[in-house]
Structure 1
Amino acid sequence: MEISPAHELMARALDYRALRQDLISANIANVDTPYYRSRDISFEESLAEERARIDGRESKRLKLAVTDRDHFDAPAAGRGDRAEIFFRDGHMARNDGNTVDLDVETTEMAKNMTMYNALVAAMKKQGSIFRSVIDASAKV
């Protein structure tokens, strides 16, 4: 049961935040692994596309011109409902080729956990609002 369109978007954001937490944890766990490259996830664009889909707005993607009706349809240019995992290569590699910076990882983990907790709190608040409306309507 979907409570609201925002609930669906928050649930998707929670999934991405949980995945990001796992990636950051893996980076920290591999801080001493030679040649390990730190990874991260980019999901903001996917969430923006999901929001546009939920709101019924048209995507901002450029549509290809059709010059012949017999041409194949263009493949989906976007990632769809998938976020992109990438290597975070902005940091200097150590002598062993490892790019994990413990300060960066712990900072990113704290920021991600704060956003995750804020999403959980928002979902709880939304649920309590709907429960109170249902309880009040049952008393009538």
Structure 2
Amino acid sequence: MKLFSNTIRSLENALDYSALRQKVISNNIANVDTPNYKAKDVSFKNQLAIEIESQMRANRTSDKHFEFSTSNRVSRQQFTKTDTAYNHNGNNVDIDKEMALLAENQIYYNAVTERISGKFNSLKTVIKGGN
């Protein structure tokens, strides 16, 4: 029996994504003066594909059907940014852009935590019997 709906699991995945993105952005900011450091980011599309694949199961009705395989799918969560200009020391971290991404990620995180809090409050109301 499933205790929670898929919505809560999706919100957990969103929090995981936000935490990973926070770590990557913080790492970029910490290495702003490191020679030859290449900025990294997390792709929501790639992260979404990973999460969907982890929950996807094929129903084989015959032994002649092919096995469901995700080996050729996206497996990396982080990627190195290549569309930015390099500084004189080979570093491509733009501190202003990273700070903006950090603020954006914080807003996203706050929105997701508010939503999951609302879900748990709804469950609490149901458990109490609507009082």
Q: TM-score, normalised on structure 2?
A: 0.79
Over aligned residue pairs, what C-alpha RMSD do you find? 3.0
Cα distance between partner residues in 1 of 2:115 and 2:70: 36
Cα deviations by residue, 1:32-70 (Å, 9 ceiling, x for unpaired): 00000000011334325645876x898xxxxxxxxxx6x
Aligned length: 124
Given the superposition, is the C-alpha separation of residues 131 and 48 from structure 1 closer, same or farther in structure 2, using an over 3 Å criterion?
farther
Kept in 1, the 8 Å contact 2:24–2:41? The answer is: yes
Q: State the identity as a percent.
A: 33
1:76 to 71, 78, 84: 71
Cα deviations by residue, 1:68-87 (Å, 9 ceiling, x for unpaired): x6x987662213xx552111
Per the alignment, residue 22 of structure 2 pairs with 21
Cα distance between partner residues in 2 of 1:113 and 1:25: 12
1:103 paired with 2:103, answer: no
Per the alignment, residue 92 of structure 1 pairs with 85
Q: TM-score, normalised on structure 1?
A: 0.75
Gaps of 5+ in 2: 59-63
1:128 paired with 2:121, answer: yes
Cα distance between partner residues in 2 of 1:48 and 1:3: 22
The within-5 A match list for 1:3-42 is 3-42=4-43
CA displacement at 1:2 relative to structure 2: 4.2
Gaps of 5+ in 1: 59-68
Given the superposition, is the C-alpha separation of residues 83 and 43 from structure 1 closer, same or farther in structure 2, using an over 3 Å criterion?
farther
Kept in 2, the 8 Å contact 1:24–1:40? The answer is: yes
Kept in 2, the 8 Å contact 1:91–1:99? The answer is: yes
